[in-house]
Amino acid sequence: MNLVRDVLDNQIVDRNQTKMGKVDGIVFELRDGQPPRLLYLESGFRPSHTVCIQNSLMP
């Protein structure tokens, strides 16, 4: 999966298909000798508020 192409700037919807904004940022952890690890997605509902979409990404 190419996260930049497939996720960045795409619409986020909740389980009821309510629009929640678009993905504004993708944050990775860079680790020596290992592939990058996705930490969370950023989405700004309003310019002054950024939301971390993390609960559904991590077990």
pLDDT tens across the length of the chain (59 residues): 688 888 888 888 888 888 888 888 888 999 999 998 988 888 875 544 445 555 555 44
**Domains of the chain: which residue ranges?**
3-53
Q: Which residues of 10-44 are buried (b: 16+ CB within 10 A; e: fewer)?
A: eebeeeeeeeebebeeeeeeeeeeeeeeeebbbbe
* CA–CA gap between residue 37 and residue 25 (Å, rounded): 14
Q: Pairing state of beta strands 25-29 and 19-22? A: unpaired
